[in-house]
Amino acid sequence: MTAPYVRFQGVSKTYDGGGQAAVAGLDLDVAAGEFLTLLGPSGSGKTTTLMMLAGFETPSKGAILVEGEDISRKPAHKRGLGMVFQNYALFPHMSVAQNIAFPLQVRRMGRADIAARVKRALAMVQLEGYENRRPGQLSGGQQQRVALARALVFEPKAVLMDEPLGALDKSLREQLQYEISRIHRDLGVTVLYVTHDQSEALTMSDRIAVFNKGKVEQCGAPGTLYDAPANLFVAGFIGENNFVNARISGSGEGVVRAASPAGAMSARSAGAQAGLAVIAIRPERVALNPAAAEGVTRLEASVTERYFAGDHVRLVTRLKSGEEVALKASRLNAETLPQPGAAVTIGWRIEDAQAFPPDTTEPALKEPAAA
């Protein structure tokens, strides 16, 4: 097995004399050429992790290795890493070409080599013809392309991106997601990307490390995190999920049976074996008026809300337990879908739902009333 390109080895970071750790005991490997996204809510430790790799923060404990070399105490400008910030950080008095050339001039490269590299970088981000403009004459998306070109022009070991698309509107953000992914594929450069936007992470990443309270809850491919979250936090943070509280009445062969005032239900076990459980089911996996069959959960509900959502119709239903379950229905059948107030049956197959143990770091799960 090849050695990781970047390795965080027992890395912790504390502020204010050793209080609450911003990052706690982080062990994380990044392969060469990989696009790894650090995803999590505000204050989860993802940006602190990136800043320690960049050299703008120093680990309180542990080591950060790049190609086997411990760079934990190495100055930022000697790490050979490119950096892209949310606020672009361009020099307003310099032209686009001068901004891109700046890292090369610092490295005392020859004038001809600088000109050739700047030309290639402009083509890479599709900004040919803009070299003489100032940042103030560009749109936000164009400024971010310049920042990306500047980070890549000196052929860094890796590129670190801290919420680079956070200041852009939705359509432009989506466009640049694909542009950054294309550049990553074309160059094969290692990318560590910080965001709190889970849809952005799912779209762009080879792997995602989900941060929460200074620790990585799960790290894996986007499809793995979406289909097989390790715990309730990941299940709720990656994509959309419905959660129904229940008490397990039986289990075996990776399947649990549970009951609540909403009715009897079954799901794949995701760590829950006995006692209280939280059944997680994604809206696109919830069926409307499913036929009775072995292994299919069927619960009575009433429609409380109905929304047109472009490619689907979103229905929100309320179970007998009072809990709400959302589902997505095809817009092709919109005229036959129930209106608010209608009584319906909703359900799911065992393989489409997961039963998690309650999250002990959150307030205690309320005991479901007797079914």
Same domain, 207 and 268: no
Rounded to an integer, the average pLDDT of 118-128 is: 89
Q: Indicate whether 189 belongs to any domain.
A: yes
Question: Would you state the pLDDT for residue 364?
Answer: 40
Residue 237 has pLDDT above 60, yes or no: yes
Q: Strand ranges (DSSP E) for the chain?
A: 6-14, 21-30, 35-39, 61-66, 69-70, 81-84, 158-162, 190-195, 207-212, 215-220, 242-252, 255-260, 263-269, 276-281, 287-288, 296-308, 312-319, 324-330, 343-349, 353-356
Same domain, 246 and 188: no
Question: Would you state the pLDDT for residue 1?
Answer: 46
Same domain, 120 and 49: yes
Residue where a domain stops, chosen among 232, 258, 281:
232
Q: Indicate whether 364 belongs to any domain.
A: no
Residue 346 has pLDDT above 60, yes or no: yes
The enclosing domain of 190 has a CATH number of 3.40.50.300
Q: Indicate whether 255 belongs to any domain.
A: yes
CA distances from 283 to 69, 239, 262, 346 (A): 46, 10, 17, 11
pLDDT category at 169 given cuts 50, 70, 90 is: confident
Residue 370 has pLDDT above 50, yes or no: no
Question: Would you state the pLDDT for residue 194?
Answer: 95
Question: Would you state the pLDDT for residue 187?
Answer: 87
Same domain, 225 and 337: no
Rounded to an integer, the average pLDDT of 72-79 is: 91
Residue where a domain stops, chosen among 183, 203, 232:
232
Rounded to an integer, the average pLDDT of 269-294 is: 93
Residue 164 has pLDDT above 90, yes or no: no
Q: What share of the chain in percent tops pLDDT 90?
A: 64
The enclosing domain of 333 has a CATH number of 2.40.50.100
Same domain, 188 and 311: no
Quote the CA–CA distance of 43 and 64 in Å, as a whole number: 21
Same domain, 60 and 146: yes
Instruction: Tell me what the pLDDT averaged over the chain comes to.
Output: 90
Same domain, 101 and 43: yes
Q: Indicate whether 43 belongs to any domain.
A: yes
Quote the CA–CA distance of 317 and 344 in Å, as a whole number: 8
Residue 35 has pLDDT above 80, yes or no: yes
pLDDT category at 5 given cuts 50, 70, 90 is: very high
Question: Would you state the pLDDT for residue 88?
Answer: 74
Same domain, 47 and 185: yes
**Up-side HSE of residue 37: CA atoms within 13 Å toward CB?**
28
Residue 180 has pLDDT above 60, yes or no: yes
pLDDT category at 17 given cuts 50, 70, 90 is: low
pLDDT category at 365 given cuts 50, 70, 90 is: very low
Domain of 348, in residue numbers: 240-356
Length of the chain as a residue count: 371
Question: Would you state the pLDDT for residue 322?
Answer: 95
* pTM, entire model: 0.89
Task: Provide the domain count of the chain.
Answer: 2
What six digits make up the tokens of 280? 């997680």
Question: Would you state the pLDDT for residue 328?
Answer: 95
Question: Would you state the pLDDT for residue 368?
Answer: 52
Same domain, 249 and 132: no
Alpha-carbon torsion angle 57, 237, 171, 155, nearest 10: 30
Question: Would you state the pLDDT for residue 18?
Answer: 64
Residue 159 has pLDDT above 50, yes or no: yes
pLDDT category at 201 given cuts 50, 70, 90 is: very high
Rounded to an integer, the average pLDDT of 303-316 is: 93
